[in-house]
Chains A and B, each alone.
Chain A
Amino acid sequence: NAGVTQTPKFQVLKTGQSMTLQCAQDMNHNSMYWYRQDPGMGLRLIYYSASEGTTDKGEVPNGYNVSRLNKREFSLRLESAAPSQTSVYFCASRGGRVGGTEAFFGQGTRLTVV
Chain B
Amino acid sequence: TQLLEQSPQFLSIQEGENLTVYCNSSSVFSSLQWYRQEPGEGPVLLVTVVTGGEVKKLKRLTFQFGDARKDSSLHITAAQPGDTGLYLCAGSTVGSGNTGKLIFGQGTTLQVKP
State the A residues within 8 Å of B (CB). 4, 30-31, 33, 35, 40-45, 48, 50-51, 56, 58-59, 90, 92, 94-95, 100-108
Give per-residue flags for B14-39: 1 if the beta carbon is below 8 A from chain A beta carbons, else 0: 00000000000000000101010000
B2 touches A42 (CB 8 A): yes
State the B residues within 8 Å of A (CB). 2-3, 6, 9, 31, 33, 35, 40-45, 48, 88, 90, 92, 96-107
Q: Is the interface of B mostly helix, strand, loop or mixed?
A: loop
Chain A nearest CB: distance from B3 CB in Å? 8
> What would 20 more interface pairs be, CB under 8 Å, given A42-B104, A42-B106, A43-B88?
A40-B106, A42-B2, A42-B105, A43-B104, A45-B102, A48-B101, A50-B96, A50-B99, A50-B100, A58-B101, A90-B42, A94-B98, A94-B102, A100-B98, A101-B48, A103-B102, A104-B42, A105-B44, A108-B40, A108-B41
Q: Which of A44, A50, A95, A101 contacts B104 (CB 8 A)?
A: A44
Chain A nearest CB: distance from B110 CB in Å? 14
Chain A nearest CB: distance from B90 CB in Å? 7
B101 touches A107 (CB 8 A): no
Chain B residue nearest in CB terms to A48: B101
